[in-house]
Amino acid sequence: MSQYLRLGSFLVVSVVSLLFGFVLLDPLQMENAFVLSGYANMVILSGLLVAAFFPSLSLNALRKRLNRSTLILLTVCLAAALFMFTREGGGFKITFDEYVITNVSKNLNQQHIPFTRISVTENVAGIESIDKRPLAFPFVLSLVHGALGYSYKNVFFLNFFVTAALLFLVAKIAERLLDRKASYLAILLACASPLLTQNSSGGGFELFNALWLFLVAWLSMNYWEAPSHRRMFQLVVSAAFASHIRYESALIVIPVAGILLAKWIQQRKVELPWLTLAIPPLFMTLAWQQLAIASNPGKFQYETEGSGNFSLSYLMPNLEKAFEYFFIPSAVYPSSPWVSFLGFATLLSILAFSLTRGKTLYGGRPERGVMLCYAAYITALLLLILCFFMGDLAQPISSRLALPFVVLLTLLGGIGLSVLYSHNHFGKTCVCGLTALSMLFATKVYSNPEYTTANRINKKIDWVRSFAEELPQGNYLFVTSMPHAMEVFGYNSIYTFRARQRLATLKVHMDLKTYNEIYFVQNLSFKTEDEIVKLKPLPNNTLGPAVSLEQVQEVSLIPFNLTRISRITDIDIEKDFMPTEPEPYEPGETVQFRYVSDKDFESWRKSLP
């Protein structure tokens, strides 16, 4: 009776959480609720994680687990992660996304607010916005900032340890499903995967997402083999944390719920710890965040020509590109056809054996059935990505979306190679040849990772940052289309279009000498008009006739385009005219933005020297 009372209570709490998450609040209230509770929500969720796993982290429990073979495997994983990290070295690989993640983590660390800073005046934020990415990874990164002190490099070192942990987890799953050889072969294939290597030293959360996905799969195996309240709570709270990593991560509750229901039906009883009642309310911040973002489509949507972000019309074109990504080698995207071939071959073999020899394959091995469910889930996620407007995996900026599936391919490839190795001398020769070909191909790719080095926008950011680092010590403001990146590196910045609308404010700061200098980073392109080549600013890359500029440096990183840094020498407000376009954001009419009050601004102004 107690168990059914717990289940009923859980359902009631879930329904109430759904109502508060999706129905009872308007978008502005959702934004305010997210801002006020986002950080606290992650603290509570992390506390529940610690409570769930603390008994497993006792000295006696660790002594039992850290035997000689485990320590050897852990050492191999660290060495493999170091190999992967040093192929490209730490650096931001995906423009804007990775900078924004670090930007949010900086605010979480320093102010405990889930904002990305858009424009700053000295240390007072002129305007901030909530970001569309869930908070789990920025929150963990903010803890690293708290322990080591803020540095944009912290995210690269965090991803190094995330890579090592993911390799260790994949190896343990391979060993659990088959044998120890499969675990080491899976690690080898991971080292031969350009996509994993690229992300191992980047600033994104894709590897972190894969780590938690496979951790939930591991905990599901544990629960199915020996169900208990403690193991169930570990599984549920881990799934809740994993739901806060990527936009689609909350879908992980589907396989978890399926595993729990199947076990309850098998046992003919319901098991539900009281602590699980705390889980549903922790999902409300996800709903508030995404619905607040969706209330301003211009902030979130892509230019999709009316088809929307997701549509079945994208599936077939993206499926063709996915085949190209997995099996056709190219320098423009991080992929290995050898790893793909081994992974898909093993996957097809498992599917064939499941249909013809299912009892032999799964009899007495329930962990294999559980892992098959998660393999199906990861495959379904890939199909979902292929229905996405940005689901072209052959594009370097989108390839990372396939990372969980690529990790699955390395796991399956390791299992397939281990089975082949165990057959006969010919099998051993084939395994040696296939692994050698995989590593040789990867070595060639790593010698010139064009999919990363060809990112011209990153080069432009690095060029501007190099200019800023060479300036004499002082206080500078950069007017730029990339303020998120400049904020990450510790430089005051403001969006070009916002500076254009706030020229009077900039004029005040010039008169007050708030900054040593104000620099304008401008993007221009060469256009032919009447057979005359002219240099024209790109959209939202001009400050109007009121601003006098003194050119300092310029560089061309993209054909027919120029990036120029100019010093703002004067602002004559009388020459200014407001842009004909309406302001993108009006205070009080849209959510996602917090404006500094007059009182705060006056307090800051009085603090000036």
Q: What is the pLDDT of residues 433-475, one digit of tens each?
A: 999 999 999 999 999 888 888 888 888 999 999 999 999 999 9
Give me the pLDDT at residue 358, please.
Answer: 85
Comparing 594 with 367, the larger pLDDT belongs to 367
Alpha helices in 387-524 (DSSP H): 403-421, 425-447, 450-453, 456-469, 483-488, 496-501, 503-512
Q: What is the pLDDT of residues 97-114, one digit of tens each?
A: 899 999 999 999 988 989
* Residue whose pair of structure tokens reads 């009419």 in the numeric block: 589
Give me the pLDDT at residue 602, please.
Answer: 61
Q: What is the pLDDT of residues 225-272, one digit of tens each?
A: 999 999 999 999 999 999 999 989 999 999 999 999 999 999 988 888
Give me the pLDDT at residue 343, please.
Answer: 96
Give me the pLDDT at residue 605, please.
Answer: 60
- Give the Cα separation of 112 and 540 in Å (integer): 32
pLDDT above 70: residue 306: no
Confidence of residue 307 (pLDDT cuts 50, 70, 90): low
Give me the pLDDT at residue 500, please.
Answer: 87
Query: C-alpha dihedral over 540, 542, 547, 549, to 10 degrees?
Result: 130
Confidence of residue 18 (pLDDT cuts 50, 70, 90): very high
**Contacting residues for 279 by C-beta, under 8 A, at least 6 apart:** 48, 236, 237, 240
Long-range contacts of 44-47 (CB under 8 A, 24+ apart): 44/278, 44/282, 45/237, 45/240, 45/241, 45/244, 45/282, 46/139, 46/241
Confidence of residue 115 (pLDDT cuts 50, 70, 90): confident
Comparing 83 with 422, the larger pLDDT belongs to 83
Comparing 347 with 495, the larger pLDDT belongs to 347
pLDDT above 70: residue 216: yes
Query: C-alpha dihedral over 312, 313, 318, 323, to 10 degrees?
Result: 80
Region 283-288: what's the mean pLDDT?
Answer: 95
Angle between helices 27-53 and 284-294 (to 10 degrees): 150
Give me the pLDDT at residue 505, please.
Answer: 84
Give me the pLDDT at residue 123, please.
Answer: 45
Region 550-566: what's the mean pLDDT?
Answer: 89
pLDDT above 90: residue 150: yes
Give me the pLDDT at residue 298, please.
Answer: 54
Give me the pLDDT at residue 316, please.
Answer: 94
230 CB burial (10 A radius; 0-12, 13-18, 19+): middle
284, two tokens: 């409300």
pLDDT above 80: residue 5: yes
400, two tokens: 């990372």
pTM over 0.85: yes
Q: What is the pLDDT of residues 58-71, one digit of tens each?
A: 777 777 778 889 99
Q: What is the pLDDT of residues 390-430, one digit of tens each?
A: 889 999 889 999 999 999 999 999 999 999 998 878 889 99
Q: What percentage of the chain carries pLDDT values higher than 70?
A: 91
Q: What percentage of the chain carries pLDDT values higher than 90?
A: 62
Confidence of residue 560 (pLDDT cuts 50, 70, 90): confident
pLDDT above 50: residue 593: no
pLDDT above 50: residue 592: no
pLDDT above 70: residue 600: no
CB atoms within 10 A of CB 443: 11
Mean pLDDT (the chain, rounded): 88
pLDDT above 60: residue 591: no
How do the domains of the chain map onto residue ranges? 2-298+308-451, 456-578
479, two tokens: 């007017």
pLDDT above 80: residue 304: no
Give me the pLDDT at residue 127, please.
Answer: 58
pLDDT above 80: residue 126: no
- Give the Cα separation of 170 and 215 in Å (integer): 9
The whole-angstrom distance between residue 69's C-alpha and the CA centroid of its chain comes to 33
Pairing of strands 476-480, 517-529: parallel
150, two tokens: 């803020």
Region 554-558: what's the mean pLDDT?
Answer: 86
DSSP, residue by residue, 489-558 = TT-EEEEHHHHHHTHHHHHHHHHHT-SSEEEEEEEEEEEEETTEEEEEEPTT----TTEEEEEEEEE--S
Element holding 56 (H helix, E strand): none
Give me the pLDDT at residue 64, please.
Answer: 77
Give me the pLDDT at residue 241, please.
Answer: 97
